[in-house]
Structure 1
Amino acid sequence: MSVKSKRLINPYEERMLEFLQTCIEVNYKIHTQVSLCQFCELDSSLDWQLRKFFFSSSVDALITDYDFKPCLVVEFQSQYHDSPEAKERDRKKAALLAIAGVPLLYSRVKNFGLLHLYSKDEEIVFNLFTGERRENAKALIRKYCEQSACCDVLAAW
């Protein structure tokens, strides 16, 4: 029997993290493969299936502010997320993040180099080859980070 170390992320996730890094200001941090229970607190009235899922699920990328408060979760989607089981896991994760008040964006590369960043309410398509609409994609990421910071400032008042 042996145990070997392995790479934490795959090449697609690496490219996505590199892109996210270009979108955020220096006072934000990106964390990878973070368990939901590390940045969300569990409500005792939560459905038992969501409770079970809560302790066994992680997010691909969590962006936090300077004080390590969650600003945005980005989930990297691929063809593996098209199965009914994966869609159910994604639905549960989205439900838990909504309850916690943490915004969620999905990213998926389609059609040979078009990066789709989307939520239930909006979508931006960025051409990875030409750079077309890159600023729109960056603005979307920054919007969520700034909304979180804005909420913290208003709460302090």
Structure 2
Amino acid sequence: MSIKLKRLVNPYEERMLEFLHTCVEADYKIHTQVSLSQFCAIDSPIDWDLRKFFFSSNVDALITDFDYRPCLVFEFQSSYHDNTEARERDRKKATLLHLARIPLIYSRIKDFGLLHLSSPDEQAIFNLFTGKEREKAELLIRKYCQLPTENQMELVAW
């Protein structure tokens, strides 16, 4: 029996993380593949199915401030997320993040190099080849990384 090492992220996730690093200030940190239960706590009864999902789900990228308080979650989407089961998992994750008051942005490359970033309220489309509209994409991300943390969630002291 043997165990092999594998990469933590795939090439698409790697490019997205490189892009995110250019968007956030030095005071912010980007963490990958973080379990929801590492940065959120259930403080009141929730649906059993949602609770079970909470303890078994990760986010693709979590941006925290300098004190490791969550500011923004990034989910990297692909055509895999078009199937029914993946959409249901995405819905559950979005519900839990909404309950925790942590903003969520989806990213997806479509149409030959157009990076689509979307939150429930807005969207930005950035051309990865020409750089057109990059500022709008950066502003969308930076907007959430500048919100006062106390407005997003009440932290649980361990």
Q: How does the TM-score come out when normalised to structure 1?
A: 0.94
Shift of 1:150: 7.7
Counterpart check, 1:105 vs 2:105:
yes
2:30 alignment counterpart: 30
1:15 alignment counterpart: 15
Deviations 1:109-148 (A, max 9, x none): 0000000000121110000000000011001100001014
What amino acid maps onto 2:55 in structure 1?
Answer: F
Shift of 1:100: 0.4
Shift of 1:42: 1.3
Measure the CA separation in 1 of the matches of 2:141 and 2:150.
Answer: 14
Deviations 1:18-72 (A, max 9, x none): 0000000000000000000000001341110010000100000000001100000
1:94 alignment counterpart: 94
2:39 alignment counterpart: 39
What amino acid maps onto 1:80 in structure 2?
Answer: Y
1:60-75 residue pairs with structure 2 within 5 A? Answer: 60-75=60-75
- Structure 2 gaps of 5+ residues are 153-158
Identical positions, percent: 69
1:127 alignment counterpart: 127
1:155 alignment counterpart: none
Partner of 1:46, secondary structure, is coil
- Structure 1 gaps of 5+ residues are 153-157
Partner of 2:25, secondary structure, is coil
1:6 alignment counterpart: 6
Measure the CA separation in 2 of the matches of 1:134 and 1:70.
Answer: 24
Measure the CA separation in 1 of the matches of 2:102 and 2:44.
Answer: 19
What amino acid maps onto 1:48 in structure 2?
Answer: W
The CA RMSD over aligned residues, in Å, is 1.2
Measure the CA separation in 2 of the matches of 1:57 and 1:130.
Answer: 35
Measure the CA separation in 2 of the matches of 1:104 and 1:87.
Answer: 15
Partner of 1:126, secondary structure, is strand
Measure the CA separation in 1 of the matches of 2:143 and 2:111.
Answer: 26
